Amino acid sequence: MSAHSDDVGGSGYSLEDLSAYLDRGRIPRVPAIERNAECQAVLASMERMGRLSRELVEEQAAEPLAESWYDGIMRQVMREFRAGRDIPLARTDDGTEIVVTEGALYELIRTVGDGVDGLLVGRVRLNQPEPDAPLEVRVTVSVRFGRAMTAAVDEMRHGIRAAIEHHGDLKVGRVDVTVGDVHMDEGENE
């Protein structure tokens, strides 16, 4: 759960949180979102946009595409794929710099969270104060009711560090994992 002023309808959840919730199929149910009229309106808009986008793609799939249209779409996809700033991983002897995008690291961290039993990843924040400084990671998670929080947080923290260090020469500094919410398993009462 977010504690920022960018929350929707006083729910404590940001647009990013609502998008992630919708991507998870609204599972597990979050009463603060499900009972908030503004959150429901935003989720309905997101669902409509997704449906309209799929319909548009299906409609246009039947028409032959101009090469320039394809090139424009691919340029946009590449811009979105970059997802944030580049974080240097290594520099080769010939001066070539190898980088990873913040978006790729976000996805790596979310994948780690998917592997931790009873844990759902919420907000992910990365900070690297100086180009060669260790990467600082801050993650907010929801832990399933009944799951030992300390064990889940420790598993997540160690998993993040191992995954980032395994995938490159990036030094990982502080890894903060904050439990911002507790959820019930799907099918359990709220």
pLDDT in tens, 5-32: 578 878 888 888 888 888 888 888 888 8
Same domain, residue pair 90 and 166: yes
Q: Which two tokens stand for residue 5?
A: 């002023």
**Together in a domain, 90 and 157:** yes
- Whether 50 and 128 map to the same domain: the answer is no
Query: pTM score, two decimals?
Result: 0.55
- Residue 155, in any domain of the structure: yes
Q: Which domain holds residue 167?
A: 84-183
Give yes or no: residues 29 and 97 share one domain: no
User: 108 with 171, same domain?
Assistant: yes
Considering the domain architecture, whether residues 107 and 177 belong to the same structural domain is answered as yes
Looking up residue 139, the CATH number of its domain turns out to be 3.30.70.1350
Number of domains in the chain: 2
For 44-93, write each residue's pLDDT tens digit: 778 877 776 666 666 655 555 455 555 655 554 454 444 567 777 766 78
CB neighbours of 185 closer than 8 A, spacing ≥ 6? 28, 144, 145
Residues 90 and 172 in one domain: yes
Smallest CA-to-CA distance from 113 within 67, 86, 152 is with: 152
Q: What is the DSSP string of 7-70?
A: -STTSS--HHHHHHHHHTTS-S--HHHHT-HHHHHHHHHHHHHHHHHHHHHHHHHTSPPPHHHH
